[in-house]
Structure 1
């Protein structure tokens, strides 16, 4: 007897189970991808040292972090001695000279922000997809719509926390000082100021999400068909996640470049009149093209692919594995309850 015959008394995968699966995926992704970006940043910094009070954007595939180069600050972990000849050499020297924990610099703020954002995003996507499949006959465009709505929701909820986190990273603040900062922000600029940077984030993340989920479902079905599998395996989900993440990363990279410019501009130009600088997405794009050509909009393509492709693959394959695990557990519980009812 299956769930349909028992009136869905035991859901195949509940929202809580989806949250647990996505939370596990976010933690595992952060643990596995963060060392790659730490090494990348260390290699970049030794060739192009950041002057005092300058900042750079660090991203491990799940979350962006703004770091500041204040000498003597405990945030200047990348300034420690060491000359690296390549990626493997950097890994070995960091572990030998600074301890293995240095490979996970920046992990705590990632977990604080990425876990709730990922839980909201993946759970909303699955719930919307399930709802639409019961209402719509043509399922081809469901991943696009569900991906857009889920990403909009996640970005909107997390955006104020992102602003506060960025402020906390820029300067050591007590909770009282942070409270005063938020109150001053609200009194001067209103509630809408807490969502500053929302539009550029949406322009990058929403198209990424739409393309990612559509391509993921297409590649997953194609791989299942060509490998004679009725259900996607962990390897199939991993491969589909990596390919779809790579495609979405390439297409949306110009918006990621603009978002990086907006996030770092406030801190890089503290003593400059910001009113003279372009602020809209399109104006910043035109400025980049005029200075660096079209290729300027695709700066950092390889590092982004190195981060995002494995992050997407690990995240979605872990999430799907978690759902499959809970699915089996729910079926066992369902069959056990059904047998008990038959005995009665």
Structure 2
């Protein structure tokens, strides 16, 4: 079976997804700042998202909630471009014009997620460091960093910690391919249910709601691993050097999860979930809305709209 890597349709999906995600993240970026601070700074008490943002602004300045915006947007743009392109390209080549199913959406979402993680993890490691740089932490064990930008962060991490440090958190990230896979499975399944064979364009409200529902479910299910991922990317959790990378990663994940439960109980695994849900649900809903509108307008101009509905 032939496999076409380059597809104009997949490119439209990738560009639409990247543009939608960048716009949505910019709008709700302060909410992500609050979530990340709660995940990494274990000594900070869990409070409402507005309270956390008020503390950050009071202690660090009015623009502090947007610290690290540029590297995050760069990483997000690249990550979503890769994910949307791979997801739709793999589906298009597998289905050959047939309608998709939930199992196909899940499998293709996981495959696209693996490719995306391996390709873009260094960008996310750097953006996590830059986003937390200059923050006032409650945890005295966290050391400050001094990066002047994206390139300097790459250079310092490679020089001081080795090339492998750019892939910190890769193993939990690979486990977390379930997050977008579940999200896309639910989203695409709800779209098919709403259309019920009519091959119509969904309304803005319908797209916003199903995008929010899909992300809420995926985020809640995988949140403990997302917390571990953030801690490992920040790079201040010491892993064992006497074991293989795989065993060391597994032990790190296990230790972080157990320590959280011992110190804070089961609720510690979901510290910052409120901020994460508020940010990620709204961001995903707006992202899917913009993605669908951009892709729809482009495909209408190409005269491909009806044929594409039948395959999704």
* TM-score, length of structure 1 as denominator length: 0.65
Q: For the structure 1 residues 149 and 117, does the alpha-carbon distance in structure 2 shift closer, same or farther, using more than 3 Å as the test?
A: same
Q: For the structure 1 residues 108 and 193, does the alpha-carbon distance in structure 2 shift closer, same or farther, using more than 3 Å as the test?
A: closer
Selected match of 1:179 from 143, 151, 155:
155
Which residue of the partner structure matches residue 265 of structure 2?
A: 293
Q: Displacement, 1:155?
A: 1.2
Q: For the structure 1 residues 165 and 86, does the alpha-carbon distance in structure 2 shift closer, same or farther, using more than 3 Å as the test?
A: closer
Deviations 1:111-163 (A, max 9, x none): 12111111111111111111121187873311101111111111111112333
Q: Does 1:197 align with 2:197?
A: no
Deviations 1:85-114 (A, max 9, x none): 9949x78xx7xxx77x66644321211211
Which residue of the partner structure matches residue 9 of structure 2?
A: 14
1:224-243 matches, within 5 Å, as: 224-225=195-196, 230-243=200-213
Choose 258-267 or 230-239, whichever is displaced more: 258-267
Selected match of 1:303 from 260, 265, 275:
275
Q: For the structure 1 residues 136 and 282, does the alpha-carbon distance in structure 2 shift closer, same or farther, using more than 3 Å as the test?
A: farther
Contact 2:79 2:116 (C-alpha < 8 Å) held by counterparts: yes
Q: Does 1:128 align with 2:90?
A: yes
Q: Does 1:140 align with 2:140?
A: no
Contact 2:21 2:76 (C-alpha < 8 Å) held by counterparts: yes
Contact 2:187 2:210 (C-alpha < 8 Å) held by counterparts: yes
Which residue of the partner structure matches residue 79 of structure 2?
A: 117
Pairwise CA RMSD: 4.0
Which residue of the partner structure matches residue 260 of structure 1?
A: 230
Selected match of 1:245 from 211, 215, 219:
215
1:58-77 matches, within 5 Å, as: 58=37
Q: Displacement, 1:212?
A: 0.7
1:319-334 matches, within 5 Å, as: 319-331=291-303
Q: Does 1:23 align with 2:18?
A: yes
* TM-score, length of structure 2 as denominator length: 0.71
Q: Displacement, 1:19?
A: 3.0
Give the unaligned 5+ runs of structure 1: 1-10, 42-56, 68-84, 333-344
C-alpha distance in structure 2 between counterparts of 1:114 and 1:18, whole Å: 15
C-alpha distance in structure 2 between counterparts of 1:143 and 1:86, whole Å: 33
C-alpha distance in structure 2 between counterparts of 1:143 and 1:164, whole Å: 30
The 4+ residue runs of structure 1 with deviation greater than 6 A are: 135-138
Q: Displacement, 1:27?
A: 1.9
Contact 1:13 1:330 (C-alpha < 8 Å) held by counterparts: no
Q: Does 1:159 align with 2:121?
A: yes
* Higher-Rg member (1/2): 1
Q: Does 1:217 align with 2:192?
A: no
Q: For the structure 1 residues 291 and 320, does the alpha-carbon distance in structure 2 shift closer, same or farther, using more than 3 Å as the test?
A: same
Selected match of 2:254 from 253, 270, 282:
282
Deviations 1:14-40 (A, max 9, x none): 3332232122112211221114445x4
Q: Displacement, 1:209?
A: 1.6
Q: Displacement, 1:292?
A: 2.6
Contact 1:159 1:195 (C-alpha < 8 Å) held by counterparts: yes
Matched pairs, number: 271
Contact 2:224 2:270 (C-alpha < 8 Å) held by counterparts: yes
C-alpha distance in structure 1 between counterparts of 2:67 and 2:253, whole Å: 31
